[in-house]
């Protein structure tokens, strides 16, 4: 079973990006993206890549981000 860690700070996002951890993204209490990795982020947007040409842009203030780690 995977451990989920909420990402909030720039350091959290930086560490998840370096580890290439898989993410779950929630918006309005619904999963809107799962399994992608962070490729870029700034204070407004998190860019998640799920496949070769599959990029998703998520508003940092509107979404919740969780890193999935194996136990």
Q: What is the pLDDT along the chain (71 residues), one digit of tens a residue?
A: 678 999 999 999 999 999 999 999 999 999 999 999 999 999 999 999 998 889 999 999 999 999 998 87
In sequence order, what are the residues at sequence separation of 6 or more whose Cβ sits closer than 8 angstroms to the Cβ of residue 63? 25, 26, 27, 32, 46
Domain boundaries, the chain: 2-70
| Residues 50/64, Cβ–Cβ less than 8 Å | no
Strand-strand pairing, 2-7 and 22-27: unpaired
Domain 2-70 -> CATH class: mainly beta
- pTM: predicted TM-score of the whole model, two decimal places: 0.90
Q: What is the pLDDT of residue 71?
A: 74
């Amino acid at each position: 079973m995977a451990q989920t860690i909420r990402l909030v700070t720039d350091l959290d996002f930086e560490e998840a990006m370096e580890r290439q951890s898989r993410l779950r993204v929630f918006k309005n209490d619904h999963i809107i993206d799962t399994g992608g990795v962070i490729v870029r982020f700034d204070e407004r947007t998190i860019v998640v890549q799920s496949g070769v040409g599959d990029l998703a842009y998520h508003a940092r203030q509107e979404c919740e981000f969780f890193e999935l780690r194996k136990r």
